[in-house]
Each structure stands twice: as C-alpha cells, then as structure tokens.
Structure 1
C-alpha cells in the first residue's frame, strides 16, 4: 500500500474505533493493536497516529501459522489454557482494540484436532467477558479489518491486485475523504434501523432456495449496524431470542475458520438449537465447533446487508468481507454462538448474566458467521397478525 492509502485506512479505523465507543479515544487511553506480520505497515501507521492523539498504543503480533500448528498440535491442556501473569489486569484496563487480519495461511490447521481450538476459545472466554462488560460501560471499544495477502487472494480465486482493489473500494479508500463517506453511510443505516425498530415484530421469516427459517427477535431488542466494530461493515443485525429459532438455514458461502475450510453448511433448528448439521466440506470441524459449549448450537445474531451500501461483489475468503457481500442479491447471515448485548434496548450496565439468560441472549465462547447470498425474501410477522416484507433480493423495503 502507498503511504496515502495507509494513512486513509488508518484514519478510517480510528473513526471506526471512536464510533464503537461512547466517547472517542483520548489521551492516556490504552489501545491494543493486534496484527499478523504482513500487516506491519498499517500497524506502524496506526501506532504513529495513536501516539499523536496522546494514547498508549500496545502492539502485539499474533501467532504465525507454524506457531499455531505447534501450539494446537503439541500444547498440553495446561499450555493451551495458560494465562500469563498480569493478563487479567491488562484487559481490565484496556480502552480499545484494533485487529489487523492479514493471514499467511487459511488452511494450516486442517489436520489439527478441532477440540483443541475449542478448548482454547473456552479458556479465553473470561477475558472476552471482561471486555464485553467494559464495552457495556463505555470504557472499551474495538474494530477490525483485513490487510490484503497473497493467501487471501489465492483462496478467493483472485490476483493480489484484484483483491487489493476490492479492499480499497469496499473501505472507500479510493476516495479523497473516506471517513466522510463512512459517516454518510452511517446516517442512511440509522434511518433504516429506526424503521426496523419501529415494527412490533413477533417473528421474521427468511425464505431462499436453501432456507426456511423463523427468527424470534425477543423482548427489549433493537437492530444494530455500522457501529464501527468492523471495517467494512454494511450489515444491519439483531441478536434474537435464541429459543425462538426454528427451521433450516443454508450457507452457500465458503467459510475459513481457525485454519479450516468449510463449505455448504446446512443447519436444522428445533426448539432454538441445531438438531442436525451437515456440510459438503469440513463437516467434522463443523460438528466440533458446535460442541464448543452449550451455547454453540444456538443463534446469537441474525443479519441482512443491503446491496446499495456494499461495493463488495465477489467472494473474498474472509468472513468480515463475505458477511458484508453486496453483489446481485445482497446477503443474510446467522451466527451460531454468542449474542451481542448491544442489541438490548435498555441500560447495558444493568444487563447481568441472569437478565441476559431470561431475555434469551445466547452465551458462548463461539461466534461463527455463516453467510447466504441467494435471492431471498424476509417477512416480518407482526404481533397484530399483519405480515409485511422488509427485505427482498438484496434490498430493504423501506416505505
């Protein structure tokens, strides 16, 4: 990336982090910058800009593919579940996190026992809970992005140049002032969220060639989107009451997760839980992930993307981009695993574990987005008995 592109990307990420928090990052705030080695140029640019703000940037390089293979292949339970001294205190003081995803391999853990990966996820959940609680109190915010690599381009079936162009266009880095563009998209999304939140919905009905799914939004819920948590992000989503999910969902998008490739996922829900799961590729890994914990077989998120927002028009081999796919028909996705408490309409600081459980907010160490890009319709079944169409073939049907 050129210096100008790096600067624009960094400015967009800092805007996203500020948007994800109740107040912008300020002097003395601690901000974790996690990155794969190929993303070093962007990490350096962010480091510099955070220093200019008076914040304390804390850079950390994530494990290389070889390190991950060793870790999950040779690590004992004690080693995989190890927490370094001071780690809890670190997360209790952290104000922000920016993750730069730039993988050098997407399939290096294909022969690794998936239960080892699930064990690690469970061991880290206490830190996730700490950050979720700080986020609810307005003391923490996070965002993430990708930095183009040869591996991402290869797995997506694109040249590196074509892949980079998709990233630049999706994030509006080809514009002189991308932050201004993101702000305008945010304002349009806010109008759509206001409309969706005004509807007294009992259930959503999603129909596509491989999908026939009922989602119950639940009590005290609101739609979210463009919160700054992801760049790019065009989706509007809700964390539903997991107990009211019934029917079938099909993910036609390939998913790369924890060094594994999974395609053609078909999930059947009854009583709010996955009762049957199949995949054309990676089925063993799918079953292992769904066995992570009790909540891994339940839905934590339901999402729709309007194709008028997104400039992403091809498979990118990265969930961040693929869950925001615009293309010809837009997309919808569900996430099995943890819910977003931000979807609660009340005061987040009062939403404790028992309250979350009572409202049907799912809890899990897993959060796995599974994407469908087929032509589809989504109807809202209102408590009044009326049925209205809210989404069709990639477009929200805002009156």
Structure 2
C-alpha cells in the first residue's frame, strides 16, 4: 500500500465515513469489523475512527479466503460439512448485545473457479442455515451494519489485468474513493445530499402504491415483477431498531422493495457477470412463470447458477427488485468491478432468494411476511439486469402505467 500523503488522507476519510455515515456509531456504541487480512491498515483506521466517535468496544475479525480454497481442495467431505455451533452463536450474541457491523469486501472473484462446485454449494448452504438468525436480524435492521469495499491485489488484478499489480491496486482505490465520495473534502456532507435524493424517490414510490413493475431492455429483458402486498420501498439510509440511522451499503444508488414471490413473469437477461461462490457466472438468462425460475441458462458458470437456485424452494424466486440509474457514479467509472457491492450500484437488479422483512409491512412477523407474498430462502443473491437502454413502468392495479425510467434514467422525482 502506498505511503502517498494524499492517499493516506483519503483512506482516513474513508474509514471515518464507514464509522460516522455507514453505521453512524453513537457515543458508547460497539462495533464488529469483518475484514480480509489484506485490509489490516484500513481496519486499524476504522478502529481509531470508532474510538474517536466514542466507541466502547471495537472487535476486528480477519478472514483469509485462501483458507476456503484449502478447505475445498484438501479438506475431507466431513471438513466441508462441519461448522462449529459457536460460530453462529458468537454472531447472534453480538447482535443481542447491540454491536454494529462493518464488513469490508475485496475477495478474488475467481478464487474458487477451479474447485468442485458441489462442495462449495454444500458449504455455502450449511453456512447460510447456521447464520439464518443473524441474517434475519441484520436484514430486519435490528442493528446497524454497512458493507464497503477494500482494494486487494487479487481483486485489483481481476479488474485491471493489463496493469502492473501496484498500479491496479491504486486504480481500484481511486474508484472506491470516487464512488464513495471519500475523495471530497467533506464526504459526510456530500452523502447527506445524496441520501436526501434517495429518500425523495422512496417516498414517491411508496405514495404511488404500484401493483407491479415492468422492465424492458435492449438485451432482451421483458419482465413483469408483481410487488408484495403492503410492500415498502427503501433506499439510502435506514434507521435500525436501535433508533440509529445508518447506510447499509457504501456506495449505494438503489431504491428497492420486495416482489410478490408468485407474481413474477417474463424473461430477465443479465447485463453484467455475477460474481458468486468464488467464480463468475456470465450471460445469465432466466424465464419466470408465476414467480418461479423455470428456464435457466448461462454462457459461463451455469452449473454454479443452477446449484444456487436449487438451494431451497425460495431460491428459485425473487426477494428483491432494485432500480438504479445508468448514470450512477459506479456506472460512470466505466469499469466492470466483478463485485456485487459495486456492480449492483451501476445497474438495476433483481435478487434470487430471501426478501428483506423491512420491505413489507409487519414483515418482522414471518407469517405476515409470507402472507403478503414475501419470499424466504437461505440465499439472497443480486444480479444485474439494468442497461443504459432500460425502460421501467409502474403498473397500477387497474392496469394504468406510469413511466419511471427511460433509457436507464429516472423520469420522476
């Protein structure tokens, strides 16, 4: 990592942004930081920013994706299937104790491309099942959390393969700083203006009470997404049940809600590759009938996609529809980042699997969530279908339509 003073200043502002805007850590608050081993320098800055904000406790846990590779290549079947109970219990206890979560992501998007995808699927399903309570708690905003990017050599090489490693890492950092507004003198103030814009859009969509959305793109997407009864649009900042307002994703340019799991029909064609389970899935095309994926294909990684959709009954249905303008800062970089956090904020997208309970009225009640049409699953996987030519209409119960997006841009709000 360079010692350039300008870079160090931006990195410090970025760390402060994660603490003060991302989880908005209050005086006396507690925070858990999940980070790849390559992120030690950033994690230390996050810890300093948290303590300056008045944190009572900062816990940093480092992960090493290469250990996952070792497990899949050299571990026994028993090792792949084994997961100590205390792993989930520890996270559940942190949620119960009110810890906020800051997660740094920068994994190699193709790390597991050469391993047995059946083993990866088994491990992923076991982990998702073990962490179900934690996923529900964070998805229901019981505590604040934020996910943010960290430039790592492996990820940077994948994004910028023609650059020397050091230049690739620096270039990716420039991208991250720019889309997160950490390259500005006062990132927090810049975020407040942006969050206000997203809040106005969600208020408008919640007022309209559309029954469905119809999306069309030049790639072949022609998809009608019925919305859950009593659906709620969200975007930008969210207020946790602790009363603290934070931003779950940095960056974020989406507004999103819950589809009705049985009212999705038509074809969705991916506009970007999906990085999932350590490999890239490209050229995705899925046809839905009565909410379920009935025809599935991909030009690359189709086996991974199929195993993902076969995780459980809800994995073949949608849990999220999100609208993102084609002019969003991530899209303006003109780079395919091979990372869902960034790429999903460059294009409108849908998610297979679990919906967020906060996207449905009374969604914290599992029975009410299902009755409203919300979807449940062990997975929640976003994939991008928006393009610069995407049109989106809101459809009312009586069939009347209102243009929401034309040519990938908002025409309302």
Aligned match of 1:328: none
Aligned match of 1:82: 83
Q: Aligned runs of 1:59-70 on 2, under 5 Å?
A: 59-65=60-66, 67-70=67-70
SS at match of 1:50: helix
> Equivalents in 2 of 1:392, 1:131: separation in Å?
38
Give the Å deviation of 1:33: 0.8
SS at match of 2:227: coil
Counterpart pick for 2:100 among 96, 100, 108: 96
Aligned match of 1:301: 320
With normalisation by structure 1, the TM-score equals 0.90
> Equivalents in 2 of 1:312, 1:332: separation in Å?
11
2:181 maps to 1:162: no
Distance 1:90 1:371, change over 3 A: closer
SS at match of 2:249: coil
> Equivalents in 2 of 1:214, 1:79: separation in Å?
39
Q: Aligned runs of 1:309-320 on 2, under 5 Å?
A: 309-313=328-332, 314-320=335-341
Aligned match of 2:407: 393
Aligned match of 1:344: 360
> Equivalents in 2 of 1:122, 1:311: separation in Å?
31
- Select between 118-127 and 282-291 the one with higher mean Cα deviation: 118-127
SS at match of 1:110: coil
Distance 1:114 1:38, change over 3 A: same
Distance 1:322 1:205, change over 3 A: same
Counterpart pick for 1:255 among 265, 268, 274: 274
Give the Å deviation of 1:218: 1.8
SS at match of 1:245: strand
Q: Aligned runs of 1:1-399 on 2, under 5 Å?
A: 2-18=7-23, 24-27=25-28, 29-52=29-52, 53-65=54-66, 67-73=67-73, 74-77=75-78, 80-85=81-86, 87-94=88-95, 95-103=99-107, 105-126=108-129, 128-135=131-138, 139-157=142-160, 159=163, 160=168, 161-209=170-218, 210-227=220-237, 228-313=247-332, 314-325=335-346, 331-346=347-362, 351-374=364-387, 375-398=389-412
> Equivalents in 1 of 2:278, 2:135: separation in Å?
26
Q: Which runs of 5 or more residues in structure 2 are unaligned?
A: 238-246
> Equivalents in 2 of 1:257, 1:341: separation in Å?
23
Give the Å deviation of 1:126: 4.9
- Select between 271-280 and 114-123 the one with higher mean Cα deviation: 114-123
Give the Å deviation of 1:305: 0.8
SS at match of 1:216: strand
SS at match of 1:226: coil
Q: Deviations over 1:325-377 (max 9, x none)?
A: 1xxxxx2111111111111234x5xx322222212211112111111242111
Distance 1:141 1:121, change over 3 A: farther
Contact 1:121 1:366 in 2 (8 A): no
> Equivalents in 1 of 2:31, 2:88: separation in Å?
15
With normalisation by structure 2, the TM-score equals 0.87
Q: Which runs of 5 or more residues in structure 1 are unaligned?
A: 326-330
> Equivalents in 1 of 2:393, 2:331: separation in Å?
25
> Equivalents in 2 of 1:7, 1:117: separation in Å?
36
Contact 1:71 1:80 in 2 (8 A): no
- Count of equivalent residues: 384
